Amino acid sequence: MANKVFTLQELRGILSDEIDKIREGTTTAAACNAVTNATGKLLSTIKLELEYCKLIGKVPNIPMLSIGEVATKKAA
């Protein structure tokens, strides 16, 4: 399975969809919890990478945040 890189806006959309599914009764609380748990862990790894890069004085390359090489390519 290929890894999909989401933008923060897409991630927010996924979380909003999960809330809607709970309200509609088309998903379970456990499934919604799994999505939110995975999201929290993903964001924790991004935070860790940002803190590390700050410590070593490096610009991070985090596609989800559109910073680093990704932002440079978009601007070109």
What is the model's pLDDT at position 9? 87
* pLDDT tens-digit readout, 65-74: 876 554 445 5
Based on the structure, what is the number of domains in the chain? Answer: 1
Q: Cα Rg for the chain, rounded, in angstroms? A: 15
Q: Which residue has the tokens 């890069």?
A: 53
* pLDDT tens-digit readout, 21-62: 999 999 999 999 999 999 999 999 999 999 999 999 999 888
pTM: 0.71
Asked, for residue 65, whether it belongs to a domain, the answer is: yes
Q: Residue 51's domain spans which residues?
A: 8-75
How far apart are the C-alpha atoms of 63 and 3, rounded to whole Å? 12
Asked, for residue 3, whether it belongs to a domain, the answer is: no
Torsion of CA 47, 75, 14, 31, to 10 degrees: -50
Asked, for residue 56, whether it belongs to a domain, the answer is: yes
Asked, for residue 2, whether it belongs to a domain, the answer is: no
